[in-house]
Structure 1
Amino acid sequence: MARFDLYRVEGWRIPLMVDVQADHLDELSSRIVIPLHRFDGQVSPGITRLKPVLRLPIGDHVLETPDLGSLPRSAIGRPVGNIVEHRDQITAAIDFLFQGF
């Protein structure tokens, strides 16, 4: 498992997840993930730093940073892609969530 890998997790309200956990913590039994949902054309003004729209090959998706959480590795499965090219936006959203800047 690698940081910024994408996973489809069936049975979840928002099944597309991005792994944001540091690679060197791979021995843990869980991974920290952030759900992504398909962009519907609307994001509240002022919230785009927290919930950026990411342009993915499968369409534009909103990073739901406030819904960050942990999933057991056994529930995640195999990656369906990697979005390391959005590293700066994802990291900035996490920093904004925890630090406020």
Structure 2
Amino acid sequence: MARFQVRRLRNSPVLGLELQANLLDKLTTRVLVPLVPVAELGQTIRQINPVFEIGGVSYALLSQHIAAVPLTEIGDVVADLSRHADAIVAATDFMFQGF
């Protein structure tokens, strides 16, 4: 598993972005942040909910819903958002630091 990869949760339409450092691969969980289609959301907070296009659909990163997910619940990679690392890190930094 690799940081900034988007994965589908098993038996679910939910997408999660992996944020955990690659050097922690021996853990039995991964820190994921859900990605939700913008069309399904009401209001978002620009600083913590950046938007990314995946498969032609705009998804918002819901940093406020960060969670540890067991490996057994994590499915296949559907996208790689590595090129957006700066925006992703800025959103999570803002979530924890407030700036």
Length-normalised TM-score, structure 1: 0.86
Matches within 5 A, 1:21-100: 21-40=20-39, 43-44=43-44, 47-100=45-98
The unaligned stretches of length 5 or more in structure 2 are none
Amino acid in structure 2 at the alignment position of 1:100: G
CA distance in 2, matches of 1:33, 1:10: 14
Amino acid in structure 1 at the alignment position of 2:63: T
The unaligned stretches of length 5 or more in structure 1 are none
Q: What secondary structure sits across from 2:83 in the alignment?
A: helix
Aligned length: 98
Length-normalised TM-score, structure 2: 0.88
- Quick check: which one's strand share is greater? 2
Work out the percentage of aligned pairs sharing the same amino acid: 34
